[in-house]
């Protein structure tokens, strides 16, 4: 299965798993330096990208890596590795910027970790490239077109973010990742004309 993954997708998967294992050995130093801290003395600009390689538990890592495998490999094969990486890291960056804005607006002082912003960008990219492709939810296993899957996830994240449900989850970072992916695709579309 992993041998069939596109190279950058496989590299991101290996990097996330390796960093997660390192977090189990040295959680303090790794999270202090590489998690995304809110604006203030703990923040470093590199954290706008490095936070996406850290995860807050095995389940967090598992679901993000399932998303990476499900959407990343096919998009990388379709776009090519360079374009895929630009798209993915643009989504990660805009997710970080959205989270920083929310954290400073609400006075939050906890760090953010996880590849979810990049994964949500990939969900949107997949839905835009292959809108009618069938996606099956894990729970419950309901098939639906990719465009509907992406819209439901965006609506759910907006609802959860606005209502404050599931506190401790960076819902607006997820939406920020989708916005970043959308902006990159619009840029590609306008520059190809």
Evaluate whether 178 touches 123 at the Cβ level (below 8 Å). yes
Largest Cα–Cα separation, the chain: 50
Alpha-carbon distance of 112 to 118, in angstroms, equals: 13
Evaluate whether 143 touches 134 at the Cβ level (below 8 Å). yes
- Those residues whose C-beta lies under 8 Å from the C-beta of residue 116, and which sit 6 or more positions away, are 64, 67, 95, 170, 173, 174, 177
Active site residue 174: yes
Active site residue 116: yes
How many C-beta atoms lie closer than 10 Å to residue 63's C-beta? Answer: 16
Alpha-carbon distance of 128 to 36, in angstroms, equals: 29
Alpha-carbon distance of 179 to 136, in angstroms, equals: 23
> Which residue of the set 73, 91, 116, 171 is catalytic?
116
> Which residue of the set 55, 73, 91, 174 is catalytic?
174
Alpha-carbon distance of 20 to 55, in angstroms, equals: 6
Active-site residue list: 116, 174
């Amino acid at each position: 299965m992993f041998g069939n993954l596109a190279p950058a997708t496989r590299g991101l998967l290996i990097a996330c798993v390796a960093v997660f294992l390192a977090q189990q050995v040295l959680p303090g130093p790794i999270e202090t330096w590489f998690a995304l801290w809110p604006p203030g003395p703990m923040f470093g600009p590199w954290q706008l990208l490095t936070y996406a390689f850290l995860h807050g538990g095995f389940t967090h890592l598992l679901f993000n890596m399932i998303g990476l495998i499900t959407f990343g490999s096919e998009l990388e094969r379709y776009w090519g590795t360079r374009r895929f990486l630009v798209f993915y890291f643009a989504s990660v960056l805009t997710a970080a910027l959205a989270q920083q804005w929310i954290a400073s607006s609400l006075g939050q002082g906890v760090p953010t970790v996880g590849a979810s912003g990049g994964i949500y960008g990939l969900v949107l990219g997949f839905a835009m490239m292959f809108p009618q492709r069938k996606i099956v939810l894990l729970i419950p296993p309901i098939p639906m077109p990719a465009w509907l899957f992406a819209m439901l996830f965006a609506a759910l994240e907006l609802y959860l973010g606005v209502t404050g449900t599931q506190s401790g989850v960076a819902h607006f970072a997820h939406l920020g990742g989708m916005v970043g992916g959308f902006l990159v695709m619009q840029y590609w579309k306008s520059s190809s004309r």
